[in-house]
Amino acid sequence: MKVPELWAGTDAGKAAHHCTVIDADGKRRLSRRVANDETELLKLIADVLELGESEQVTWAIDLNAGGAALMIALLTDNGQQVLYIPGRTVHHASGSYRGDGKSDAKDAFIIADQARMRRDLEAMHRGGDIAVDLRILTSRRLDLAADRTRAINRMRAQMLEYFPALERAFDYSTSKAALVLLGGYQTPAELRRIGKNRLATWLKNRKVRNYKQVAATAVEAAEAQHTAVAGERLASVMVAKLAREVMALDEEIAETDTLIEGRFRDHPAAEIVLSMPGIGPVLGAEFIAHTGGDMSVFGSPDRLAGVAGLAPVPKDSGRVSGNMRRPRRYCRRLMRVFYMSAMVAARSCPVSQAFYERKRAEGKSHKQAIIALARRRLNVLWALIRDGRTFETTAPAPAIALP
């Protein structure tokens, strides 16, 4: 393979990018600001390739999505090698370059120079349609879940100001019945006025489970407070709106889950991923979204573990050695897939449970044992996808007591 002679660093932005091309000696050969537009970007690519003549050009960019998506697609479609340099790396590297000033041109030069010197940068690949769709859907689901949590927290904080007894009476993050209740009745006086029996009938007509118990709990909370706090009327209106917002978010999350599962099952590795205990359609979709389901991209399970933050790195200094820590740069969502699935598997899968208990017997904390299990499961999933076979649970053989 011919050694590249030109490196093109791109400081990506929303409306425009800045590209700087350097040669093997670090000399600038081109520095240009281009609009984030297909025609302009294609012209830039053509000019850089013409500048390189027959030599290989290595491209590097500081974003792997967002405003850089079009440029990455154009480069990969034209057979160009693209390296990803995280913005954090560029920021720390900038301190070793002359001058305190910051500009897009300087950042683009740093990106190109780092690509020229470093050998540990990750090559970017254009993801398949399924992986891209799942990345969009799972990101949307995370946003919806975060919005739901914020709405519940605001609702509870508002209730705490005027009706603390009802605020602590239900778990609003899991009780749909409590949200239905707040959609109609939010103050102590209203609940006392309607009474337990009529409230139970009202809840029953709205298909609430355990309507008698919910009504009794709500009226009991109302009987505990006969004082109307200042601002109660407006606060109760806000609580009703927030309760309806949470229910609407629940419906959208359910719809998104359906879309995620349908698209996830289109992937060839879906059944293999689902065969792993603890991994359902949502976590499986997260895995495909951030790996593409193609293990050859990572080269080895150790590389995938590094990307997922499951491969510890040494933190030694002076006479202190043997310390290990989690790497600073890793995919949080990929880590979440293996950590959450390991939590479930440690309770439901005999093989995983035996491994977890063995680690605990070795003196590991709960968190350390779960991370060790997550790392082990990553190796297993890697092998299953590589071999094209599903996971088969085999209960560990019981220990035989020696005479």
pLDDT digits (tens, 9 = 90+) for 15-43: 999 999 999 889 999 999 999 999 999 99
H helix or E strand, kind and range, residue 81: strand 81-84
Measured from the Cβ of residue 266, the count of other Cβ atoms closer than 10 Å reads 12
- The 10s digit of each residue's pLDDT in 371-392 is 999 999 999 999 999 999 999 8
- The 10s digit of each residue's pLDDT in 133-163 is 999 999 999 999 999 999 999 999 999 999 9
For residue 82, give the amino acid letter: V
- The 10s digit of each residue's pLDDT in 153-196 is 999 999 999 999 999 999 999 999 999 999 999 999 999 999 99
Beta strand 122-123 pairing with 81-84 = antiparallel
Res. 402 pLDDT band, cuts 50 70 90 = very low
Measured from the Cβ of residue 58, the count of other Cβ atoms closer than 10 Å reads 21
The yes-or-no verdict on residue 396 having pLDDT over 90 is: no
Please tell me the total number of residues recorded for the chain in this structure.
Answer: 403
Tell me the pTM.
0.81
Res. 403 pLDDT band, cuts 50 70 90 = very low
Cβ partners under 8 Å of residue 79, min gap 6: none
